[in-house]
Structure 1
Amino acid sequence: MKKYVIAGLLVWLPLAITVWVLLWLLGLMDGVFLSLLSVGQVVLPAGADASLERLRHVPGLSVVVMVSMLLATGVFVTNIFGQWWVRQWDRLINRIPLVKSIYSSVKQVSDTLFSSSGNAFREAVLVQYPHQGSWTIGFVTGKPASEVAAHLDGEHIGLYVPTTPNPTSGFFLIMPRSAVRPLHMSVDEALKYIISMGVVAPPPPAPPAAPVAARN
């Protein structure tokens, strides 16, 4: 009985977690969409209330609207006119006390993580942590700030060492580049390895192709 229960659990657990995550995202989009409708009911004329109220009960409309808004925003900010508006918006936000500190910090982190030209979280390495002889996987986040680097000898890098099984929490370390060992696995493979507590191992790296002359 125990064997069959565990076998059934292994089949249904990944599906249940996937459905739970999708429902959470759907609930988040529904919340934002309903907030936009509430704002519309306040701003638009009184005659539009009935139409907006009917939109609340259309299934899946929040997903379509939110994805369309993201797509339209992306198209808008990738041209010169849109980039000018983004700069004006940033200047306006940065003049508001307290808000500018939160906004600028989040913007810098998001620009670093999601920029196609950035190097953050694009390299998985092996590092000794929390003590010598104990190894774990970390992700390179960049180089130390100039003031920090001035107090260090040699080349150093910033590392994010996630916790298991929740990789959204972890530790930030600054270590010599020579103290870490690069890994061939991708960031996605390393995250799966960490979340599964080492159970789901990435496939071994493919052997290098033999030279043409050697094959002949």
Structure 2
Amino acid sequence: MEIVEEDIKRLKTGLSELTDPRLLGRNFRHKLIDIIVIGFSTILIGEADFEAMEDFGNEQEIWFREFLVLPNGIPDQDTFRRLFERINPTELKKCLDEWLAEHEKTGQEVNIDGKTICGSGKAGDHTALHVVSAWVTEQNLILGQVTTDEKNNEITAIPQLLDLIDVARDTITIDAMGCQTVLCRRFIKLRRSKK
């Protein structure tokens, strides 16, 4: 997806409705929208950590200044981390979904699979953490994740994951465990709803 200045302006408008999770009454050095736009732009180029957000912001500061305020320059990696740890993910997802909906979705390959997190069952007396994820390999982007108690609960977690993401125009790949009649019917229903 090619991002142009008009896209960023629309994104800023949607983000203006977000609740700022930072402590009220503080003198913020950076605008909420500036931090999110730089962070999201970094993710779109295939980077995802907070250090990369700071680096990309510094590399592209002249470009970002065309549509962002940046009163104190580019935020540092700790500022990105603190904000993204506290922001309401539901509110942010809603803003991004509305923004992305304005781009015609051509379809992509979405992979759905479950994995047990290595070492997650060793600490204490709890069982290992199992996560079912949907991701797009081409963009190196995770669309959503749902945790389950055990590997055999993957089948019940997949419908929950499908409720979180829009894959109606996409090609879905899934392993044999996911090839259940109830799930196949769900995929077909999704596909028909967008025709």
Same fold (TM over 0.5): no
Quick check: which one's helix share is greater? Answer: 1
Structure possessing the higher relative contact order (Cα contacts under 8 Å, 6 or more residues apart): 2
* TM-score, scaled relative to structure 2: 0.30
Which structure has the bigger radius of gyration? 1
* TM-score, scaled relative to structure 1: 0.28
